[in-house]
Amino acid sequence: MPDGPLIVQSDKTLLLEVDHPSAEQARRSIAPFAELERAPEHVHTYRLTALGLWNARAAGHDAEQVVNTLIEFSRYPVPHALLVDVAETMARYGRLVLSQDPAHGLVLRTTDKAVLAEVLKSRRTAGLVGERLDESTVAVHPSERGHLKQVLVKLGWPAEDLAGYVDGEKHPIELSPVTKPRTPHEKAAAWEMRPYQAQAVDGFWHGGSGVVVLPCGAGKTIVGAGAMAKSGTTTLILVTNTVSARQWRDELVRRTTLTEDEIGEYSGARKEIKPVTIATYQVLTTKRKGVYTHLELLDARDWGLVLYDEVHLLPAPVFRMTADLQARRRLGLTATLVREDGREDEVFSLIGPKRFDAPWKDIESQGYIAPADCVEVRLTLPESERMTYATAELEDKYRLAASASGKKKVVEQLVARHPDDQVLVIGQYLDQLEELAEHLGAPIITGATTNKERQRLFGAFREGEITRLVVSKVANYSVDLPEASVAIQVSGSFGSRQEEAQRLGRIMRPKADGRTAHFYAVVARDTVDQDFAAHRQRFLAEQGYAYRIVDAEDLDESPADSSAP
């Protein structure tokens, strides 16, 4: 114990020294209850949060286990107050239980009458609960099951939901052992779920509802398919956009017994309701005359499973709708639980606790996602542009810096360094992208591109017919471009860590020849662009990706990359 790999700080961070002989063991032991905050090369930082501890509690770990783990691996004595706090926090979960009562329907029960009294006294629970049945039981309106859970988490007394789920309408879905060819000349190939995917499906199914956290490129769609097969019921899948919806459909057709006819798309363009329906967040949140017009979709069928893709992006109105779906099994899929808006607790209470989590690096080291090399290229602005920048209005500064003319040349140089790779150029500003596309002679996809055209271009890129593609932020999410191995980011939406993760995810799909992916960010020196980049870089470094900073002037001399052919 005196030489453990873990240092427990009183501010509830855990520092894990990765080079320590028992670091792996410690990592596995603390993973259930601690959130990995950053994973740079030597010392990983985990954080103990109330949600994390409740997640652990939901997964069947108790406070004693947590405390013992901390003490066992800690190098120094663990702060006493922290241990007390862990025990107290964990003891809060499960004091309140939502369950089905044969006589009264949905009820909230407690093992601690004082707690029930406390939450019932709160103004927030007013109207969510019904009659007080006895000292430790109160009736709950079934329609308020989600709201109540939400409120209870906010009050610090998360309820364990044991009320069960409706079975939903049965619909046979099986995973097919061989992939169905997408194009006539593609051959069917045998496949099976990767071990961690199977684990994730089991973890979810066992828990009932919840979130599976997997890095980009780790095959979340397959986890979704696995869950559907396990459920064998009609399924509603909520995704971020139409392109993503189509990819889901393709993937399901490829890997399950479902046929195209059984899968419907519910989007701005089409409104099909089939046993498996894929809907976009956008259409769900469309309002007409102040009313959500597509809410009936949620009741259109007796769904047995609701899937949320990219759950960290779930818009607030969907949370409200989800609150009404508490009787159905819910599976959230995401690469990160971090939400820029801080609504992690809503994910916890409305979708469910985290059911499976695999660190990015672990999956990478298993060869399921490509290793990546991250480089920040710093470009010194020419005198004239610096002057323009210096005198510009604050709100224009980022745009000016991000679309600096010099970036064109840098991109050109970078593209030239990867003649044999599939290169994506990603940016924020359309005029900049159009200029770049023209300069590189590459096709461009923006929000204005029709879905048909998008599909065509993505298809061509996948097939290797085109090797250069310029995309705007529409490609941030859920566009599967497995062969892209180089991404060049010329501008981003300020400092979003989310975006960085997603963009990196674009190039992370494992490559056929196992080569390294490259991620370049081109930033203008001494501008806000650099500051935002620093924010994103920090995220990359925290995720464990080594990154380098290179001056644009040095690009010519520096070797492209040792692993490049």
Positions touching other proteins (CB under 8 A) are 7-11, 13, 15, 17, 38, 40-43, 45, 75-81, 526, 537-538, 541-542, 546-549
Match 């890095």 to its residue by tokens.
215
Q: Do 69 and 91 touch, CB atoms closer than 8 A?
A: no
Contacting residues for 105 by C-beta, under 8 A, at least 6 apart? 139, 142
Report d(CA 43, CA 20) in Å as an integer.
Answer: 10
Residue 42 vs 185, nearer CB to other proteins:
42
Q: Do 371 and 348 touch, CB atoms closer than 8 A?
A: no
Report in angstroms how near the CB of residue 424 gets to other proteins at its nearest. 24
Report d(CA 458, CA 460) in Å as an integer.
Answer: 5
Report in angstroms how near the CB of residue 508 gets to other proteins at its nearest. 19
SS (H, E, C) 183-249: CCCCCCCECCCCHHHHHHHHHHHHHCCEEEECCCCCCHHHHHHHHHHHHCECEEEEECCHHHHHHHH
| Rg of the chain, C-alpha, whole Å | 25
Residue 76 vs 259, nearer CB to other proteins:
76
Q: Under the phi-then-psi rule, with left for phi > 0, alpha for psi from -120 to 50, and beta for the rest, what region is 522?
A: beta
Report d(CA 115, CA 109) in Å as an integer.
Answer: 10
Match 């990819």 to its residue by tokens.
247
Residue 302 vs 551, nearer CB to other proteins:
551
SS (H, E, C) 117-128: HHHHHCHHHCCC
Report in angstroms how near the CB of residue 545 gets to other proteins at its nearest. 8
Residue 45 vs 179, nearer CB to other proteins:
45
Residue 316 vs 546, nearer CB to other proteins:
546
Report in angstroms how near the CB of residue 137 gets to other proteins at its nearest. 34
Report in angstroms how near the CB of residue 370 gets to other proteins at its nearest. 19
Residue 7 vs 31, nearer CB to other proteins:
7
Contacting residues for 463 by C-beta, under 8 A, at least 6 apart? none
Residue 42 vs 288, nearer CB to other proteins:
42
Report d(CA 23, CA 20) in Å as an integer.
Answer: 5
Report in angstroms how near the CB of residue 15 gets to other proteins at its nearest. 5
Residue 73 vs 368, nearer CB to other proteins:
73
Report in angstroms how near the CB of residue 27 gets to other proteins at its nearest. 16
Residue 7 vs 474, nearer CB to other proteins:
7
Report in angstroms how near the CB of residue 10 gets to other proteins at its nearest. 5
Report in angstroms how near the CB of residue 344 gets to other proteins at its nearest. 21
Match 């029709």 to its residue by tokens.
450
Report d(CA 78, CA 563) in Å as an integer.
Answer: 44
Strands of 427-504 (E only): list them: 444-445, 468-471, 484-489
